[in-house]
């Protein structure tokens, strides 16, 4: 038996329950991991409320990524060993004391990286990396606008964009959040709670923005689209503002720009090789000191409701992580 956070019906975080459940069976090509930390993502807040594009059958355990120690390997798994510290993408849910994952979704944690940092590494960095490399094809010297720049995904886009040689403009909703973005490499900042985003962009990028990284949507997407440079690219990641924007096709024509989507989770199905390659590239960047993951809150799993509210209420900068003893 092992404790797991269960969603038995769509609702707020308080509707979740922490219960003892049967341990998961170990299948062919799988690894059993004793979880030490598991990170929240904005998608988790949508999943438990029934607002995500995927709706698992009840009861289910939320959580997409975790870090811990390998306790058991199925026959044929060669790249891992029992006792090894690992990070993993968990299709069966990460908010539990132990889980079983496909061996291909497990990576060793590099020396010097703690469990909380490792737990929040794959999804946020992986999303930003594939968005800026594969989809936007960001080039050195281009101007990159990151909306929601202090969030779990946005902050990684600031770091990766800077590492790729872009001029990074970070936009967020408070001076405190923008201070974090500056500390992680932003060249310019915009407080869109106090400043007009469209007007400030015209000041900071008179010729327009080459690439927009947008996990927010709503009015911020609209303002960014109207400030695109010739041949600019806007990457839609998510809709934290609540409104899914509608794209006026005439603006795409006039500006010769493109709106591209990035659903990182779909790479596991459609291009797992590229997903793994991307994560290895990111770990190499971390090893060279190019990335500095930021965990703003690490809470025990018993405080799961507080953790969810920190994320959904946009009160966190960087990642929110649940810890397990």
Predicted confidence (pLDDT) per residue in 259-289, tens digit: 999 999 899 889 999 999 999 999 999 999 9
Asked if residue 23 lies in contact with residue 2, where contact means CB atoms within 8 angstroms, the answer is yes
Parse the chain into domains and list their residue ranges.
Answer: 2-121+293-323, 124-265
Pick the CATH number of 2-121+293-323 from 3.40.50.1820, 3.90.180.10, 3.40.50.300, 3.30.390.50: 3.90.180.10
- Residue 188 host element (H or E): strand 188-191
Mean per-residue pLDDT of the chain: 95
Using alpha carbons, list the distances in angstroms from residue 228 to 89, 196, 205. Answer: 35, 16, 9
Dihedral (CA of 76, 118, 56, 151) sign: negative
- Residue 230 host element (H or E): strand 228-236
109 pLDDT band, cuts 50/70/90, is very high
Q: What is the reported pLDDT for 274?
A: 95
Asked if residue 144 lies in contact with residue 161, where contact means CB atoms within 8 angstroms, the answer is yes
- DSSP alpha helices (H): ranges in the chain? 42-49, 115-119, 122-130, 154-163, 175-183, 197-204, 218-225, 249-255, 267-270, 272-287, 304-312
37 pLDDT band, cuts 50/70/90, is very high
76 pLDDT band, cuts 50/70/90, is confident
What CATH architecture is 124-265? 3-Layer(aba) Sandwich (3.40)
Q: Could you give the percent of the chain with pLDDT greater than 90?
A: 90
Asked if residue 45 lies in contact with residue 63, where contact means CB atoms within 8 angstroms, the answer is no
- Is residue 293's pLDDT more than 80? yes
53 pLDDT band, cuts 50/70/90, is confident
313 pLDDT band, cuts 50/70/90, is confident
- Is residue 325's pLDDT more than 80? no
Strands 228-236 and 209-214 turn out to be parallel
pTM to 2 decimal places: 0.93
């Amino acid at each position: 038996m092992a404790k797991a956070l269960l969603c038995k019906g769509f609702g707020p975080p308080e509707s979740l329950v922490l219960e003892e459940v049967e341990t998961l069976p170990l299948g062919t090509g799988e690894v059993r991991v004793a979880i030490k930390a598991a990170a929240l993502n904005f998608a988790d807040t949508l999943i438990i409320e029934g607002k995500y594009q995927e709706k698992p059958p009840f009861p289910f355990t939320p959580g997409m990524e975790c870090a811990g120690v390998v306790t058991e390997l199925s026959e044929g798994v060669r790249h891992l060993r029992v006792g090894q510290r690992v990070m993993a993408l968990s299709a069966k849910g990460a908010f539990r004391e132990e889980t079983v994952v496909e061996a291909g979704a497990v990576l060793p944690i590099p020396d010097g990286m703690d469990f909380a940092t490792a737990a929040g590494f794959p999804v946020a960095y992986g999303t930003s990396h594939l968005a800026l490399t594969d989809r936007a094809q960001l080039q050195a010297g281009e101007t990159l606008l990151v909306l929601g720049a202090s969030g779990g995904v946005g902050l990684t886009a600031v770091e990766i964009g800077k590492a790729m040689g872009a001029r990074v403009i970070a936009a967020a909703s408070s001076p405190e959040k923008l201070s974090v973005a500056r500390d992680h490499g932003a060249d310019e900042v915009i407080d869109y709670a106090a400043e007009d985003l469209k007007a400030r962009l015209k000041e900071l990028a008179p010729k327009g923005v080459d690439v927009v990284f947008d996990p927010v949507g709503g009015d911020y997407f609209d303002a960014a689209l109207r400030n695109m440079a010739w041949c600019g690219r806007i990457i839609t990641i998510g809709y934290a503002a609540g409104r899914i924007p509608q794209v006026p096709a005439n603006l795409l024509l006039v500006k010769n720009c493109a709106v591209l989507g990035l659903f990182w989770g779909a790479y596991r199905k459609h291009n797992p090789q590229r997903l793994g390659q991307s994560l290895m590239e990111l770990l190499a960047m971390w090893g060279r000191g190019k990335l500095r993951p930021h965990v703003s809150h690490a809470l025990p799993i018993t405080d799961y409701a507080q953790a969810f509210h920190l994320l959904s209420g946009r009160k966190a900068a960087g990642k929110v992580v649940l810890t397990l003893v």
